[in-house]
Amino acid sequence: MRRTVASALSVLALGAAFSLFSTPAAGAPAAQTYRVRGLEPGQEILLDRAGAVVTDVDEGAVYVKARPDQAAKLRKQGLKVDTMTATALAATFGPVDPGYTDYPEMQAEVARLVGLYPTLASQQVIGKSFEGKDIVALKISDNVGVDETEPEMLFTANQHAREHLTVDMALYLANMLLNDYGSDPAITKIVDNREIWIIPMANPDGATYDFATSSYWRKNRQPNSGSTAIGTDLNRNWGYKWGCCAGSSGVKSNDTYRGSAAFSAKETQVIRDFVLSRRVAGVQQITEHLDIHTYSQLVLWPFGYTTSTVVAPLTADAYAAHRAIGTEMADLNGYWPGQASGLYIADGIISDWMWADQKIFSFTFEMYPKRSDLFEQFYPPASVIPAQTSRNRQALIRLAQYADCPYRSISKENTYCAVADDYTLTVPGATYVVAQGGTVATTITATKTTGANQLVSLTATGAPAGMTPIFGLGSIPTDGSAQTISFSTAATTTPGEYTVVVRGDGTAGTVRTAPVTIVVTGSAACQGANATDVAIPDDGTPVTSSLTIAGCGSLVSPMANASARLEVHIAHTNIGDLQLRLIGPGGAVTIHDRDGADMNNIDKIYTLDLSGQTADGTWSLEATDLESGSTGKIDSWTLTLK
């Protein structure tokens, strides 16, 4: 799904008469390969006017042969022009590391797991690819042979053939659930209370072809009528808003060719029909879906066809729940969260269809690497597989925990997820204020609304470092009686506003939550802010915005606080170009290193370990735009040391 790099081999196969490193005419500046990003429809003429020769095209990226002066002309037009070095080009074009899992190996691994765990795992062929290969779905549940009335989850991988890491991610998930069942309480609870479907290779024809050719093949292998061009981009072939919004291509040879019609690709038909088969008595059993891609290290949610956040049929609450779950997962795996269209407009994608057509909460992972010029490839060495799959463990667990009621992520389960034996969990008041090192107390009440009474076990999440939620009792009956809950803070707890979510797990299986807003106050002398705009130049020149903290040193010198709070607001058209550092009296800390791919703006709170720093003095937020073709400014920032 990421803006991608196409193989030069495919260009050569089309008979293009060029060399990646052709010999220039005597006395002329050497032409070289550049990647051009930021082209809008109709701007192709800028390439021609500059004298650049297009050698390859992929979504959001055009590869050209040009002299340095011609590349400079393009940069003056506001385009992002990246020099492709010989090393980068060599890395870009493969080959596929044989350490990745190919189609026969995927089949063997699924069969191995089913044989090893026959009571927990089963497989079924849900359909055939265009070339007749089996599209396999692995089911995992505690009673795998029974279609239980449990919330279901669907994981899809490898819609794009060259994204081989995604297959290994799907198989990691399967092994995690099966190998750790019975030993890991969180995994055991998920398998006992969910039905999980994993389609580890949605595009077996394309993946097999790419393994054989190392050609950066993206599409399926279905021929196109009236053309010698092969293949449809499966993740532009889904039925919702298919071809609506310049987020796919109608050119059959293009990597983002959307197909002759929605669901014209055999593989999307198969997965669509499987999803529709999970409707029981008119009710869709699948509540959550995750589509796995590479690359950019992002967690994305609908919609991809529009930059609007709330647009029917995505309600404000549905968008908020997508965003809440997506952000929680990103906090756990270190990815950057955002709406799919924040990366680029894409229409006819699976996640948009999942929500709009079936009301399935749908997310996309864009895996390693986090930016194109880190390795400039879809073919990183297979040695990255263990680290880049296991980093998603906690994020996948968190997603599964919400499958019974995704709206619980925004504490609206009472509105959307009524159950037979139900109750409300209530904390009076909206906001509680406590000083560092102090304690604030309130009450919590569980009240039955329907069905039978139950005993509710209480836990809390979201408290910052140094804050301890303390319950008068570990559980509470649903008879309307109240018990005390207190929040005790350490002297090192970072001041700020926090939402602590109290969770109740009823003996009838009902889960309810209550958010509590806690404001921790600290010393005014240990806080500073700067709201003066500072333009970030598009030429790699660092700029700084500064503030002074004075009178804090007597409280913390040197600082022992490992959780200082930095709130940053930056308006920028491509945050993947930015490097941000916090520079204090005692040194610098990098807080943002070209994360977020091609997404816009940074509005984020960072928790930093500044222990050992000197508190008093000048603190600066330094921003550097390391690539061309984007603009922005430091809008405001706030630093709280104590």
Active site residues: 366
CB 6 within 8 A of CB 56: yes
Report which DSSP code applies to 465: T
Long-range contacts at 58-61 (CB < 8 A, ≥ 24 apart): 58/3, 58/4, 58/5, 58/6, 58/255, 58/256, 59/3, 59/4, 59/249, 59/255, 59/256, 59/344, 60/3, 60/4, 60/344, 60/598, 61/3, 61/4, 61/5, 61/6, 61/35, 61/36, 61/37
Rounded CA gap, 485 and 424, in Å? 16
Which two structure tokens, joined as six digits, stand for 2?
A: 């990421």
**How far is it, in rounded angstroms, from Cα 563 to Cα 606?**
9
DSSP secondary structure letter of residue 95? -
Our CA dihedral for 143, 144, 147, 151, rounded to 10 degrees, sits at 80
Distance CA 203, CA 234 (A): 8
Q: Which residues make beta-bridge pairs with 425? A: 446
Return the residue matching tokens 């570990």: 474
β strands within 490-558, DSSP E: 496-506, 511-521, 527-530, 534-536, 543-549
State the DSSP code for 230: B
Give me the residues paired with residue 461 across strands: 501
Q: Given 3-state DSSP classes, what are the helix, strand and coil percentages for the chain, each rounded to the nearest 5? A: 25, 35, 40
Coil, strand, or helix at residue 70? Answer: helix
Give the integer Cα–Cα distance in Å for 354 and 348. 11
Q: Is the peptide bond before 542 cis (omega within 30 degrees of 0)?
A: no
**CA 628/CA 473 separation, integer angstroms:** 58
Tokens 């240990």: give the residue.
526
User: Six-digit token pair at 140?
Assistant: 């995992």
CA-wise closest residue to 480 among 507, 516, 456: 456
Which helix (H) or strand (E) element contains residue 634? strand 632-640
Among 180, 223, 142, 159, residue whose Cα is nearest residue 366: 159
Residues ≥6 apart with Cβ < 8 Å to 42: none
Q: State the burial class of residue 185 (Cβ atoms within 10 Å of its Cβ: 0-12, 13-18, 19+).
A: exposed
3-state secondary structure 190-205: HHHHCEEEEECCCCHH
